Amino acid sequence: MLVLENLDQPKPYDAVRGGQLPPPVGGVVLGGLAGVKHRLSSSVSEHRIAALRETLNYGDAGLKIVIKICQSETGPVQRAACDLLRKRLSSIAREKLQAFVASSSDSEAEVDSNQKILDRSSGAVSEKNDDRQLSEAELIFETITQQMQPNLLLLEALVASVEREEFTSELINFWDLLILEIQEPLKELRQAVGSAISAQLRIQWLYNQAESQANQWQQRALLALQKEDENSVRLALVRKQIQFDKATELKIDLDDQTVRVETLNRNLLALESKIAEANSQKEILKMQLHFARVQEQIDFTFSQVNSIFFSP
């Protein structure tokens, strides 16, 4: 995971405003990520490319900047950004592929821990536990999403630079590994959203029950009134009011949980869409590389035939 603290603090590789002259008293040091961003805003391509080389010193924040430039710009700065991404991805790929066995074991331990939390939340069945169940689902979703962020960011970097040049087989294997590592956490996210939906549906059922019982007591009050049974009328109206108040409280909870569940579901769909896009790009790239190799073999075969039958 690419994480560095104090991104805006000056580093040994940061530039100082003032060129070769000593900085004036009270002068501003263009240090940290803010200094890199300042130089990236230059209108001179050479200056921006020079600043790009320092961007990846600032972890995920710097990587996001390079990805954005690779995705949104054209010309030499974009090509430099994509080249930088590919070189950085290649170094990460070597490290990650070598550590695959160890990292997969750690991932399984995290999944088991999260699964235990999820199992506890799915066991909540009482009305008082519904909000806690949804809160635990939200916590699980947030925690797992944060754990996935480094891989998601690397996938985004791969997608951003894939159309610029042919990738190496190492990066293809790296891409496969990232998709593989995301599958289990993605399954946990779906379970968390399912748990949240379950809590929401229970509140919906309780609300419908309270509303139905309030209507039933209203009907009983009307029947008692027709029979001029005042005691039964008063009793039915009291029971009706109890159920009505309960339904009102449940409606407030239901509206709140509906918004929270919709947010979880929307975030899950957006994440699944991003992963599906990355996977689709990977398969397209694999197919292109396969056909390129086949074409090379065909061209080689024809060149051999030509050299045998048509050479002077």
List b or e across 58-95, with b for residues whose CB sees 16 or more CB atoms inside 10 angstroms: bbbbbbebbbebbeeeeeebbbbbbbbbbebbeebbee
Q: pLDDT tens digits, residue range 135-167?
A: 888 888 888 888 888 888 888 888 887 765 556
CB count in 10 Å sphere of residue 42: 13
* 232-265 pLDDT, tens digit each: 889 999 999 999 999 999 999 999 999 999 999 9
Confidence grade of residue 128 (pLDDT, cut at 50, 70, 90): low
Q: 11 pLDDT exceeds 80?
A: no
Percent of the chain at pLDDT > 90 equals 18
Q: Other C-beta atoms within 10 Å of 292: how many?
A: 11
**pLDDT reported for residue 164:** 52
Rounded to an integer, the average pLDDT of 207-228 is: 92
**Separate counts of helices (H) and strands (E) for the chain:** 8, 0
Q: Indicate whether this model's pTM tops 0.75.
A: no
